[in-house]
Amino acid sequence: MKTERLVKKAQQGNDKAFLLLFQQYEADIYRMAYVYVKNQDDALDLVQEVAYQSFKNISTLKKPEYFKTWLMKITINCALNVINRNKKVIPLNADFEVLNGADDEDIALTISLNKLIDTLKEDEKSVILLKFYDDRTLKEISEILDIPLGTAKSVLYRALDKLRQNVKEVGIYG
């Protein structure tokens, strides 16, 4: 209930209410951005871009109870824009950035998971990340990505099949 009240205040122009709201979800936004762009600098830039876009467009949010869902949708759209903009940039060593940002003891697994997820199409990647990294339901995923529930299910199962096939080809999966 408090979130809905803060959203309504923010929509009326209360900057402090918006700041409180945004700070509640800043870590979630960063995590989702990082999973997409795979480096800290771009993820931090994305958090700033999401803050700007959401602040500028808060009045367009029709249902205050979906504020977090709305923020995640903005995050994904901004991340996809960054990815498309950076497709022309060739990294010196893509694995180096993963190694620098990895706190896991199993760095090889982190690299393998990132490479597996990178084999997916953008819509499949979005569904997988929302489902397993952000712990969203299929209904929430369909709302965030603005697709029918049946499509969200189809994309999820297609993506999981692709991931299984890729894992089998590598020989890790039994």
| Residues 75 and 48: beta-carbon distance below 8 Å | no
Asked if 96 and 109 touch (Cβ cutoff 8 Å), the reply is no
pLDDT for res 104: 45
Domains of the chain: 1-90 (1.10.1740.10), 106-174 (1.10.10.10)
Q: What is the pLDDT along the chain (174 residues), one digit of tens a residue?
A: 588 899 999 999 999 999 999 999 999 999 999 988 888 999 999 999 999 999 999 999 998 988 998 999 999 999 988 888 877 665 555 554 444 554 545 666 666 777 788 888 888 988 988 888 888 899 988 888 889 999 999 999 999 999 888 887 765 544
Tokens of 48: 């700033």
Residue 110 has a pLDDT of: 64
Evaluate whether 31 touches 37 at the Cβ level (below 8 Å).
no
Which pLDDT score, from 0 to 100, does residue 133 have?
A: 80
Of the CA atoms within 13 Å of residue 129, those in its CB half-sphere come to: 30
